[in-house]
């Protein structure tokens, strides 16, 4: 958590939209508090409509803040117009100038700042190197692929050295493979340039890939802020776990094979209000050899098996502690045929323990001196 006076602090921010006469206003952001330290990348992760873009736009100054404060290095940004905040913006569709060359796009912000021509040229070459487009300066943007365009948009946003870069779903318009590659490149570019950034996405893989910390949002509120491994290991609530892709919630006793949890597995699984979140790799398929069933394994019927480079992914109807559920498990070796009766066991390393009804948790912000 950043100290007050260091980087971005958002405190109790509310963003509302007037829905017109006779309709109630929409509260898109409902009292959010967050900090982003200098040099850090924070992802805002959440489902469509949860208020991510509204929060980002409020930080940018594009949307008025109905309550709360946004500060940079302790200075209140209330009343500071967008172009005076020193923040950079990048959107899903890059919004390049179509009739300029790549270099003409990247140097745009530097021209506005009246940076001398030689310094502009050097900076453009440096940034094209950072985004992996060396030698592309003279290309017309109309001749570029979607991925190349987003790289140009990133170089353009980074060129004036914004003190904060705000990225709104910058990779969503790209296909999956390209998105994964660009997510890695984006992370490298932000780190190499020491840029402080807030990155909006609805894709948890992308958030984990790009950000140092992730803020999970739902219905205008922040549910949890944590590093990717912390978030994955210890989701604060079932809502967070569901959003991260945990597929089922079983009683905590499912993890206790008559003794304490295995080393490396989730800790603190006991207690009446706890449950086990079963992750995508949290179930293992065991043969049902007709012998007495081992403790804490459950019968299941194979629905489908799909080969994946990391192992066979098996869809099963599991007769588990929460009734019959269609779940995905990982099988070692050959893919079992549909209809095969098997047993499944939990793999503690692929599970997390969550409270059943954990309250929404806001990040605590030190009070201003």
Ligand X SMILES: Nc1ncnc2c1ncn2[C@@H]1O[C@H](COP(=O)(O)OP(=O)(O)OP(=O)(O)O)[C@@H](O)[C@H]1O
Q: How far is the CB of 200 from ligand X (least distance, A)?
A: 6
Comparison of 27 and 297: residue with beta carbon closer to ligand X: 27
Q: How far is the CB of 214 from ligand X (least distance, A)?
A: 14
- Beta bridge partners of residue 285, listed in sequence order: 344
d(CA 369, CA 183): 38
Q: How far is the CB of 106 from ligand X (least distance, A)?
A: 27
Q: How far is the CB of 44 from ligand X (least distance, A)?
A: 8
Q: How far is the CB of 221 from ligand X (least distance, A)?
A: 12
Spatial contact of 15 and 65, defined as CB atoms under 8 Å apart: yes
The terminus-to-terminus CA distance of the chain in angstroms comes to 16
Cβ count within 10 A of residue 148: 18
Q: How far is the CB of 83 from ligand X (least distance, A)?
A: 21
Comparison of 28 and 190: residue with beta carbon closer to ligand X: 28
Comparison of 64 and 338: residue with beta carbon closer to ligand X: 64
Comparison of 8 and 59: residue with beta carbon closer to ligand X: 59
Cβ count within 10 A of residue 291: 7
Q: How far is the CB of 226 from ligand X (least distance, A)?
A: 19
Comparison of 206 and 325: residue with beta carbon closer to ligand X: 206
Q: How far is the CB of 47 from ligand X (least distance, A)?
A: 7
What residue ranges bind ligand X (CB under 6 A)?
Answer: 17, 19, 26, 28, 46, 48-54, 202
Comparison of 18 and 337: residue with beta carbon closer to ligand X: 18
Comparison of 63 and 209: residue with beta carbon closer to ligand X: 63
Q: How far is the CB of 27 from ligand X (least distance, A)?
A: 8
Comparison of 47 and 271: residue with beta carbon closer to ligand X: 47
d(CA 356, CA 361): 14
- Nearest CA to 168 out of 275, 60, 289, 76 is that of 60
Comparison of 51 and 279: residue with beta carbon closer to ligand X: 51
């Amino acid at each position: 958590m950043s100290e007050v006076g260091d980087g971005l602090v958002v405190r109790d921010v509310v963003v509302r939209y007037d829905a017109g006469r006779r309709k109630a206003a929409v509260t898109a952001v409902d009292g959010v508090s967050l900090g982003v330290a200098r040099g850090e990348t924070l992802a805002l992760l959440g489902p469509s409509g949860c208020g991510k873009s509204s929060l980002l736009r409020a930080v940018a100054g594009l949307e008025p803040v109905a309550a709360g404060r946004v500060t940079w290095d302790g200075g209140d940004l209330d009343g500071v117009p967008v172009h005076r905040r020193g923040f950079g913006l990048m959107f899903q569709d890059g919004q390049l100038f179509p009739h300029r060359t790549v270099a003409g796009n990247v140097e745009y912000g530097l021209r506005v700042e009246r940076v001398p021509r030689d310094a502009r040229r050097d900076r453009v070459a440096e940034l094209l190197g950072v985004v992996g487009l060396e030698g592309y300066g003279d290309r017309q943007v109309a001749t570029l692929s979607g991925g190349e365009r987003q790289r140009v948009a990133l170089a353009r946003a980074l060129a004036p050295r914004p003190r904060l870069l705000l990225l709104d779903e910058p990779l969503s318009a790209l296909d999956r493979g390209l998105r994964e590659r660009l997510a890695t490149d984006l992370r490298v570019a932000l780190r190499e340039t020491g840029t402080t950034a807030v990155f909006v996405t609805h894709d948890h893989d992308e958030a984990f890939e790009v950000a140092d910390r992730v803020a999970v949002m739902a219905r205008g509120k922040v549910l949890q802020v944590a590093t990717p491994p912390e978030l994955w290991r210890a989701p604060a609530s079932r809502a967070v776990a569901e959003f991260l892709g945990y597929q089922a919630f079983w009683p905590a006793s499912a993890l206790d094979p008559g003794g304490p949890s295995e080393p490396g597995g989730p800790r603190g699984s006991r207690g009446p209000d706890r449950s086990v979140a079963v992750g995508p790799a949290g179930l293992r398929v065991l043969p049902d050899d007709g012998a007495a069933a081992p403790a804490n394994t459950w019968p299941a019927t194979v629905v489908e098996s799909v080969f994946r480079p990391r192992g066979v992914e098996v869809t099963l109807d599991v007769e588990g502690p929460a009734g019959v559920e269609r779940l995905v498990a990982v099988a070692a070796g050959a893919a079992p045929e549909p209809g095969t009766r098997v047993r499944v066991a939990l793999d503690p390393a692929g599970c997390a323990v969550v409270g059943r009804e954990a309250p929404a948790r806001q990040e605590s912000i030190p009070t201003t001196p």
